[in-house]
Amino acid sequence: MKIIKRNGAEVSFDITKIINAIRKANNEVSEGNRLSEAQIQEVAKNVTALAKDLTRAVSVEEIQDFVENQLMDQKAFAVARKYITYRYTRTLVRQSNTTDARILTLIECNNEEVKQENSNKNPTVNSVQRDYMAGEVSKDLTRRILLPRDIVEAHDEGIIHFHDADYFAQHMHNCDLVNLEDMLQNGTVISGTFIEKPHSFSTACNIATQIIAQVASNQYGGQSISLTHLAPFVDISRQKIRSEVAEELAEVGIKDDEHIARIAEKRLRDEIRKGIQTIQYQVVTLLTTNGQAPFVTVFMYLGEARNERERDDLAMIIEETLNQRIQGVKNEAGVWVTPAFPKLIYVLEEDNIREGSKYWYLTNLSARCTAKRMVPDYISEKKMLEFKVDKNGEGHCYTCMGCRSFLTPYLDENGKPKYYGRFNQGVVTINLVDVALSSHGDMDEFWKIFDERLELCHRALMERHKRLKGTLSDAAPILWQYGALARLKKGETIDKLLYGGYSTISLGYAGLYECTKYMTGKSHTDAEAKPFALSVMQHMNDMCKKWKAMHNIDFSLYGTPLESTTYKFAKCLQKRFGIIEGVTDKSYITNSYHVHVTEHIDAFTKLKFESEFQQLSPGGAISYVEVPNMQGNIPAVLAVMQYIYDNIMYAELNTKSDYCQVCGYDGEIAIVEEDGKLLWECPHCHNRDQGKMNVARRTCGYIGTQYWNQGRTQEIKDRVLHL
């Protein structure tokens, strides 16, 4: 059994430390109030059993809570007081400097919590450690100075989660849709250098990757770009190449237009290949100032093209993007593996969804890519036009920001829809399971506590808004001055972009399944329990609408992609309420509105069921189906994609993509348990060295490749197939 120390380091459980701590407290009281040695041993034994029952690494704080409770059970109140006093005194000493120990263990790579915090950051790399060190300082400032005490306490207790506190000290926003079109067409400035409109497709791709890196270094969430913004440069290259070919052939006496066109198209295809390769490899190999490859999503939507020529050119770009992702990237052993980024989104529309439609070949290619490399994810144009409707009653189709955060429909001062150049101010998540358990099953009490917790989230979200208010455009020129998000003047604040719906701010939620299970005794997939679950969703939407009217800020309900927080929430719930079967008996809680990962349900039923909840999560959410290796069954992948088109706005297929560098095994790397800890193991050679294997899994809407904490690992292990 493992113990997580306060500095994040993981050590083996040692019962003698419990016994010695109790003995010290015992010796401080009068003889008549002391425990016998047998009683001390019994307390230590009971604490050990309680820790083992949690089937995960237990924190020192949890162990001490168990000791206090056991001392009370023994009616050793004097000993318990001494133990609690000593614990409190040590806490005060530690609080005199809250960051040193964590930073030191981080540098030495033995901070288990930080090592597993982000599945796309390698904590042994200097740049990642530098970002984490800065994050520890930021969190310390945030906790002690910047946030109200009750919000900090609610965050610590897992009642809410104040996201990205490690970036809160700076005036930074969450995620955005980069206005690549403006930057490429009108020029931009990078590191003080003016970058003019590119004169070829390959140059446009190169500039795009520089923009991606700059944007990633000035925010902390995901960003999205559209391939449509690169499409006009295909024809610029075409005309340039045709002129060069005509000139070359004229020198040898050839003036055949058909011959010129054929050679020019071949060279153009080669330039498209090189341009897309630049984006693929640059994104994978870039390390931004936050210590990881840019979290970027590439949007592939034929419907964005302005004319048939541009649409066909965009189709060529999409085709090349899919082909290169199917191939993958080489790992250090020279083997083709699945990269985490860029994330790809492919829009399903009438021109590509049915066999025989003009761009069906792209959809077929997309299905092969999903089966092999887990992307792209799919947006249904049909459903999105139904759900994302502006004040004039017109529907719009556009990409999310990063993995799932969606902007609300917005019309600019000219009455035209605007999405690129907009952003999200930040996220605070409510733990719905804690609301339910705090009510003890009393429905009236549930709604009362729910409103109190939502108001807490409201105040926490306003702290995020106030932190951005007054930010000068000079803080991130690439974002605010040079076109990524705006063209503000030097010295101008970003305040006008924070109001009126230009940007959004997100109320996140987690654990709808467990909340419903506790309050109704049934899963929210049950017809009797579903109305309650929907009413919870509607109530949060109603509150967002109320806050929006109050502040003229676009609050929006968001299905939080809990990564490490799913484990944190689970541990906090177990500490506050104990183990409750079907509710707190896992080391994770369920993301957003999802059907529980252990619940047996077929892919089509799951997508249909979750579509109702996705519609009530306008700030973002994604549904998924868990599938086996589908490379030999592309028709089944296409069937799921066609079902997505008709039934749900945004969904993905989860499969596996692993490789063992020791023996060359390329099947599924297994999760095994040893001494209460979950480990990754090659089923062929039993290699457990995470540095010598490549594992790619879906984590909340994006691919993770750097492993996960114990809660998320258990969730991955528990997943059942839906197909």
Give the pLDDT confidence of 358-368 residue by residue, as tens digits.
999 999 999 99
The predicted pLDDT at position 166 comes to: 86
424 has catalytic annotation: yes
**Mean pLDDT in residue range 301-311:** 97
Mark whether 189 and 281 lie in a shared domain. Answer: yes
The answer to whether residue 228 is domain-embedded is: yes
Q: What is the value of pTM for the model shown?
A: 0.85
401 has catalytic annotation: yes
The answer to whether residue 363 is domain-embedded is: no
User: Per-residue confidence at 167, pLDDT binned at 50, 70, 90?
Assistant: confident
39-76, pLDDT tens digit by residue?
A: 999 999 998 888 888 877 788 888 888 888 899 888 88
Confirm if 596 and 716 have CB atoms less than 8 A apart.
no
Query: How many separate domains does the chain show?
Result: 3
Single residue among 107, 131, 146 that ends a domain in this structure: 146
Domain that holds residue 105: 99-146
The predicted pLDDT at position 713 comes to: 84
Catalytic residue among 304, 349, 381, 563: 563
421 has catalytic annotation: no
Mark whether 79 and 121 lie in a shared domain. Answer: no
Quick check: 92 pLDDT over 60? Answer: no
Quick check: 106 pLDDT over 70? Answer: no
Quick check: 245 pLDDT over 80? Answer: yes
Single residue among 96, 115, 133 that ends a domain in this structure: 96
More confident residue, 74 or 181: 181
Mark whether 240 and 324 lie in a shared domain. Answer: yes
Catalytic residue among 202, 424, 439, 611: 424
313-352, pLDDT tens digit by residue?
A: 999 999 999 999 999 988 888 888 888 889 999 999 999 9
Q: How far apart are CA 443 and CA 593, in angstroms?
A: 20
Mark whether 210 and 273 lie in a shared domain. Answer: yes
The predicted pLDDT at position 62 comes to: 86
Quick check: 498 pLDDT over 80? Answer: yes
Mark whether 244 and 229 lie in a shared domain. Answer: yes
% residues pLDDT > 70 (the chain):
91
Catalytic residue among 59, 138, 174, 617: 174
The predicted pLDDT at position 55 comes to: 74
Catalytic residue among 172, 374, 401, 649: 401
User: Per-residue confidence at 127, pLDDT binned at 50, 70, 90?
Assistant: low
The answer to whether residue 542 is domain-embedded is: no
Given the DSSP bridges, would you call strands 423-431 and 175-177 parallel, antiparallel or unpaired? antiparallel
Catalytic residue among 403, 519, 540, 682: 403
User: Per-residue confidence at 659, pLDDT binned at 50, 70, 90?
Assistant: confident
Q: How far apart are CA 465 and CA 462, in angstroms?
A: 5
Mark whether 217 and 69 lie in a shared domain. Answer: no
The predicted pLDDT at position 493 comes to: 97
**CA triple 623-548-385, angle to 5 deg:** 40
Nearest CA among 377, 267, 380, 273 for reference residue 317? 273
Strand partners, 348: 380
The answer to whether residue 671 is domain-embedded is: no
Catalytic residue among 398, 558, 593, 659: 558
Given the DSSP bridges, would you call strands 223-226 and 10-12 parallel, antiparallel or unpaired? unpaired
8 has catalytic annotation: no
Mark whether 91 and 128 lie in a shared domain. Answer: no
Q: Using CA atoms in the order 295, 300, 306, 307, what is the torsion angle rounded to 10 degrees?
A: 150
The predicted pLDDT at position 626 comes to: 93
174 has catalytic annotation: yes
> Buried b vs exposed e over 146-178: b needs ≥16 C-beta within 10 Å?
bbeeebbebbeebbbbbbbbbbbbeebbbbbbb
175 has catalytic annotation: yes
Q: How far apart are CA 318 and CA 611, in angstroms?
A: 27
624 has catalytic annotation: no
Catalytic residue among 135, 701, 704, 711: 701
Quick check: 668 pLDDT over 90? Answer: no
The answer to whether residue 289 is domain-embedded is: yes
Mark whether 206 and 336 lie in a shared domain. Answer: yes
7 has catalytic annotation: no
* One-letter identity of residue 335: V
The answer to whether residue 717 is domain-embedded is: no
More confident residue, 626 or 114: 626
Catalytic residue among 133, 175, 462, 519: 175
Mark whether 64 and 118 lie in a shared domain. Answer: no
Single residue among 341, 363, 398 that ends a domain in this structure: 341
Mark whether 206 and 232 lie in a shared domain. Answer: yes
Catalytic residue among 179, 206, 405, 592: 405
255-301, pLDDT tens digit by residue?
A: 888 889 999 999 999 999 999 999 998 888 776 556 567 889 999 99
Quote the distance between the C-alpha of residue 128 and its chain's center.
Answer: 18
User: Per-residue confidence at 712, pLDDT binned at 50, 70, 90?
Assistant: confident
Quick check: 455 pLDDT over 70? Answer: yes
Quick check: 116 pLDDT over 90? Answer: no
% residues pLDDT > 90 (the chain):
65
Burial of residue 75 (CB within 10 Å: 0-12, 13-18, 19+) is exposed
The predicted pLDDT at position 107 comes to: 52
Quick check: 186 pLDDT over 80? Answer: yes
User: Per-residue confidence at 714, pLDDT binned at 50, 70, 90?
Assistant: confident
The predicted pLDDT at position 598 comes to: 96
Quick check: 310 pLDDT over 90? Answer: yes
Given the DSSP bridges, would you call strands 175-177 and 223-226 parallel, antiparallel or unpaired? parallel
Mark whether 116 and 59 lie in a shared domain. Answer: no
Kind and range of the H or E element at 436?
Answer: helix 432-438
Mark whether 335 and 204 lie in a shared domain. Answer: yes
Quick check: 88 pLDDT over 70? Answer: no
562-608, pLDDT tens digit by residue?
A: 877 888 999 999 999 999 999 999 999 999 999 999 999 999 999 99
Average pLDDT of the chain to the nearest whole number: 90
The answer to whether residue 330 is domain-embedded is: yes
The predicted pLDDT at position 282 comes to: 86
The answer to whether residue 678 is domain-embedded is: no
Count CB neighbours of 52 within 10 A. Answer: 13
The predicted pLDDT at position 407 comes to: 97
